[in-house]
């Protein structure tokens, strides 16, 4: 039985890393060319690739169209990333929040 950690120790892969290491090489185009296709500045794409920017919903739509796989892939990756950092930031405070039951009215 393999344990699937609900709270992984290390941060989930940044979407920018996938873009940089898998998608762009397969397309074989320069950052500038991809940015032109996406309709964003090459500077903004560069920030995503260098993991200085996350994937906004707008960017997810653009990438989803460009790659043909839809926006959900990018939304999911960013979501995993955001949740991991939010949970890390909240820390023990989450444990102090009770789970309330709805009383049948």
**For residue 2, what are its two tokens?**
């393999």
Burial of 105 (0-12, 13-18, 19+ CB in 10 A): exposed
Partner whose footprint covers residue 28, from DNA, a second copy, none (CB < 5 to 8 Å by kind):
a second copy
DSSP string computed for 49-86? HTTSS---HHHHHHHHHHHSS-SHHHHHHHHHHHHHHH
Q: Which is nearer to DNA, 52 or 69 (CB)?
A: 52
Partner whose footprint covers residue 52, from a second copy, DNA, none (CB < 5 to 8 Å by kind):
DNA
Would you count residue 88 as binding a second copy (CB under 8 A)? no
Residues in touch with a second copy (CB under 8 A): 23, 25-29, 37-39, 56-58, 60-62, 65-68, 71, 75, 79, 82-83, 85-87, 89-90, 93-94, 96-103, 105
């Amino acid at each position: 039985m393999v344990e699937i950690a609900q709270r992984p120790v290390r941060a989930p892969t940044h979407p920018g890393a996938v873009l940089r290491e898998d998608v762009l090489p397969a397309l074989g185009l320069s950052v500038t060319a991809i940015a032109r296709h996406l309709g964003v500045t090459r500077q903004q794409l560069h920030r995503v690739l260098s993991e200085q920017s996350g994937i906004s919903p707008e960017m997810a739509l653009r990438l989803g169209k460009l790659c043909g796989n839809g926006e959900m892939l990018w939304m999911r990756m960013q979501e995993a990333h955001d949740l991991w950092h939010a949970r890390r930031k909240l820390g023990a405070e989450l444990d102090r929040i009770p789970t309330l039951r709805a009383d049948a009215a």
